[in-house]
Amino acid sequence: MTSRAHLDVDLIRRYLAGDVGAFNELMAAHEDRVFGVCLRMLRDRDAALDATQETFLTVFRKADRFRGQSAFSTWVYRVAVNTCYDQLRRAKRHKASSLPEDHDPLDPSSTDGFDSVELRPDIESALMDVQTEYRAALVLVDLEGLALETAAEILGVPVGTIKSRLFRGRRHLAEALGNLRPPSDPHRDEHHA
């Protein structure tokens, strides 16, 4: 168990014993990553802020249900993903406008800030077209950098299912972004040779 995981367990114990400051420390340690997951799942800053707040309200109310069988971060990400699923279901009934491009965060993996900003809207748009289950796997593994096993635990599915969802989600993204071309027709290639 990492020192962060030990600290989280201690903070949960202190909070359950009545130390509200311990909960504030716990929230401060995890709120940025929870917000990042929510933003990538929902692609709307206000919705992501709402989902982040709702996630921590749920954790605040249900902290006694954390059993310590996994890291606290795994548990809080699961709460966040489930909160996002709920918001996405509600949003299907009320289509919301997307966040203006100038508010999109930079892609930290990009070495050139201009490339990052240029590609961001296309990637985010394509990501929103990916089925929710595939998107959750992509966000947790590819964007948040979590291990397959951790993502599987958060989503409550086997590791093989995560691998399958990643494969299908990545394929959909590649097709949507024009990075995956359909198999070439061998007869067509013969005529041009």
Mean local confidence (pLDDT), 53-64: 94
Domain coverage including residue 142: 103-184
pLDDT for 47: 93
Residue pLDDT, tens place only, 74-85: 999 999 999 999
Residue pLDDT, tens place only, 105-164: 444 444 444 344 444 566 777 788 888 889 999 989 988 889 999 999 999 999 999 999
Q: What is the CATH number of the domain that holds 8?
A: 1.10.1740.10
Residues 62 and 115 both lie in one domain: no
Residues 137 and 160 both lie in one domain: yes
Burial (CB count <10 Å: 0-12, 13-18, 19+), residue 6: exposed
Mean local confidence (pLDDT), 56-60: 94
More confident residue, 179 or 65: 65
Tokens for 53? 């707040």
pLDDT of 103 above 80: no
pLDDT for 120: 56
Residues 71 and 117 both lie in one domain: no
Q: Is the pTM of this model over 0.75?
A: no
Looking at 45, 63, 95, the residue that finishes a domain is 95
How many Cα atoms sit within 13 Å of 85 on the Cβ side?
15
pLDDT of 1 above 70: no
CB atoms within 10 A of CB 21: 10
